[in-house]
Structures are given as C-alpha cells and as structure tokens.
Structure 1
Amino acid sequence: MTEDDVLAEFRAADALLEGHFILSSGLRSSRYLQCARVLMNPARAARLCAALVAKLPDEIRSAITAVVAPAMGGVIVGHEMARALGVDGMFVERPTGTFELRRGFRLEPGQAVLMMEDVVTTGLSSREAIKAITAAGGRVIAGASLVDRSNGTVDLGVPFFPLIRLDVPTYEPDALPPELAEIPAIKPGSRSAA
C-alpha cells in the first residue's frame, strides 16, 4: 500500500480534515486525520493494519508476542494489529490519571510487545504507554502507528514504524500563522491538552 493509497483510505472515510485544529498535545495544525473514522470500517482497518505489518522488519514481526495500545484512540488499531500479527491484543488505560495495563490483562515477564498507536505527534502518550507496559512486565521491542505527525522527530526509545508520515506543520497556540489564526479552532482529539 503506497502513501497515496493510505491517504485515499482516509479521504474515502471523510477522515482527512482541513481547518484549525487543537491537537491532543495542545499544538495547533491546519490538517487533522480522524483515525476513529477510518477505523470504524473493519475491512478498511484490516487493510491498513495488514499494510503496516508488511512494513515491519521480519526480525521484529516474528518476535512480537502481544500488541498493547493506549486507550482510547489506540484500542481499535491495536486490536487490528494483533489480529494481523496473530497475537493477543491488550490496552493500557488511565483509571487514576496514569496509564496502567487494563485490569484482567497480564503480560509475562519479558514478553515481547509492540506498542501500537493510531497517530503519534509528540510521542507523549506512546512513551507513557511504553512505561506502563514495562511496569506490567512487558518488553517493548517496537512502536508503530498508522500516522506519524512528528515530522520524523519523535523518539520513543524503541524502533518506530508508522504506516505513513504526514508532515504538516504544527504551531504553539501563541505562534499561529495569520491564515490559521483567522479560523476558529476546534478540538477533535480524545485527550485533554495539558
């Protein structure tokens, strides 16, 4: 699947938005990919995750024994990646404000885990999820996402494999270009900006 094919999937799902968006990181952007919309179609989600699995190096793909994703945005894509890899899928959640493995889930000590996200911008949620996976006994051998919005700058501390990189400038709220400042900002993300 080429980058154009991936973007065509987002467009077909009305998931590629243009405007003035407040990202979950607090940064602002003129484009937003609504992964929840692209993932609501199971066949589309399966195609995207199969394409991402194909991009993983063989030695990483064959070593993964579980996929863990941060809730809420990563739950569906994490499940689909687990299905594509033929391994168990789990998620971390924030019942008290800090990520922890969902009650009832268990990782074996040292279990090789792929941490899966829908979109990575700053990597904050991903790094928090990796910390929680490690605290639960897992060993994160790689991270992956459908979209890397970091402009290639994110460092998760593990190898990172996005399906596509979307290099869209992001701005601090007090440093907007005039054309963006003229548009009312909306917050389509799922996590409060801190």
Structure 2
Amino acid sequence: MDQQAVLDEFRSVDALLEGHFKLSSGMHSSVYLQCARVLMNPDRAARLCKAFTDKLLATGVEIDLVISPAMGGVIVGYEVARQLGVDGFFVERVDGEFAMRRGFAIPKGARILMMEDVVTTGLSSRECIKTINDLGGNVVAAGCLINRSGGTADVGVPLTALATIKAPIFDADNIPEDLKDVPAVKPGSRGLK
C-alpha cells in the first residue's frame, strides 16, 4: 500500500481534516488526522495494519510484544499485535504519567514494538517508551500509521510509519494569519483546553 492509498483511506471516511486544530501537545495545526474514524471499520483497520506489519517486518526487526499508549494507540496496537501473532496491551495515563495497569506484565527479554496511531513531535512516544523501559522492557522499534512530522520526529528507537506527511504545526502564539480568526477545535479524545 503506497502513501497515496493510505491517505485515500483516511479521506474516504473524513479522517483527514483541514481547518484550525489544537493538538494534544498544545500545538496548533491546519491538518488533523482522526485515526479513530479510519480504524472504526475492522476490515479497513486490518488492511492498514497488514500493510504496516509488512513494512515493519521488511526492516528485519523481530517483535515478541506490542505495547501502545492509551487511548489512541489501543486499536492500532491490538490489530498490529494480531497481525504479528503476538500479545499486545497498553499503558495508560494515571495522574498525567503513563503507567501499566490491569495486570499487564512484560515478559523478561521480550522485544517490544511501541505502536502509536499518529506521531507528531514524538513526545508521547518517547514518554511511552521511557515507561516501558523503566518497567524492564526492551523497546526495539516504534511504529505508527501516520508520521506527520515529515520524518523528523525522533522517538529514540527506529520508527516505522505506514505513511509520512509534513503537516504544519504552530505554537499558540505563532498562528498564521489565515488561521488567527478561525476558532481552534480539538476533535481528539482529550478535549479543547
């Protein structure tokens, strides 16, 4: 699946939006990707995650376990784990920090893929990887469906993306003139702050 086909999957369900958006990082953008909409159909999710796992496995990496950050990474992480034939679970924020709950445990020596839906700056990915490593994990790779940094985000381990785009991001005090009078919306899960 080439990059255009991936983006067409997003466009087909209005999951690639244009306007003025506030991202979970606090940054602003004129482009927003709503992965929950593209993953709501199991066949589409399986198709995208199969294309991703094919691309990941072509790098030669071996994976024993997939761990994703909640909330956005849960569906994609589960489906990638299913495609790889390994277990998958998630970490979630407790008092603003990622934590492992629900009886999940990292098997000793497991080679872990940290799987996200979208990477923008890489901050959440780095936080998730740090938590996994602090709990004795061995994150050998990271993955996402869309890397919106244009390939510049550094998550500290090799990052495989199904598609890479360069979506503009802006500080709140540096909004472009054409967006200044457009109210920022936050279609994601954390709400507009």
Range into which the TM-score falls when normalised by the shorter chain: over 0.9
Q: Tell me the SS of whatever aligns to 1:59.
A: coil
User: Any conservation in 1 of the 2:185–2:192 contact (CA below 8 Å)?
Assistant: no
Query: 1:71 aligned to 2:70?
Result: yes
Normalised by the size of structure 2, how large is the TM-score? 0.94
Which string of whole-angstrom CA distances, capped at 9 and with x for unpartnered residues, describes residues 87-146 of structure 1? 001100112321112221111123100000000111111111111111222100000000
Paired position in structure 1 for 2:25: 25
Equivalent AA in structure 2 for residue 59 of structure 1: G
State the distance in 2 between where 1:54 and 1:193 align. 36
Residue matched to 2:60: 59
Letter in 2 for 1:77: V
Report the identity percentage: 59
Alignment-derived partner of residue 47 in structure 2: 47
Q: Is the 8 A contact 2:65 2:112 kept in 1?
A: yes
Matched-pair contact (CA < 8 Å) for 1:146–1:163: yes
The one-letter code matched in structure 2 to 1:9 is E
1:121 is matched with which residue?
120
The alpha carbon displacement at 1:193 in A equals 8.1
Please tell me whether the aligned partners of residues 26 and 193 of structure 1 are also in contact (alpha carbons under 8 angstroms).
no
Q: Shift in Å at residue 58 of structure 1?
A: 4.6
Q: CA RMSD in A?
A: 1.5
Distance 1:115 1:162 in 2: 12
In structure 2, how many angstroms separate the alpha carbons of the residues matched to 1:19 and 1:96? 31
Structure 1 regions of 5+ residues with no counterpart? Answer: none
Q: Give the partner amino acid of 1:17.
A: L
Q: CA deviation at 1:79?
A: 0.2
Q: How do 1:78-93 residues align onto structure 2 when only pairs under 5 Å count?
A: 78-93=77-92
SS of match in other structure, 1:162: strand
Structure 1 length as normaliser, TM-score? 0.94
Q: Deviations over 1:147-177 (max 9, x none)?
A: 1112221111100001111211111111111
**Runs of 4+ in structure 1 displaced over 3 angstroms?**
191-194
Residue identity opposite 2:23 in structure 1: L
Alpha carbons 1:27, 1:170 under 8 Å: kept: yes
Q: Equivalences for 1:161-172 in 2 at 5 Å?
A: 161-172=160-171
Give the SS at the match of 1:94.
Answer: strand
Q: CA deviation at 1:14?
A: 1.4
CA distance in 1, matches of 2:150, 2:93: 27
2:182 maps to 183
**Equivalent in the alignment of 2:9:** 9
**Structure 1 residue identity aligned to 2:60:** E
1:184 is displaced (CA, Å) by 1.2
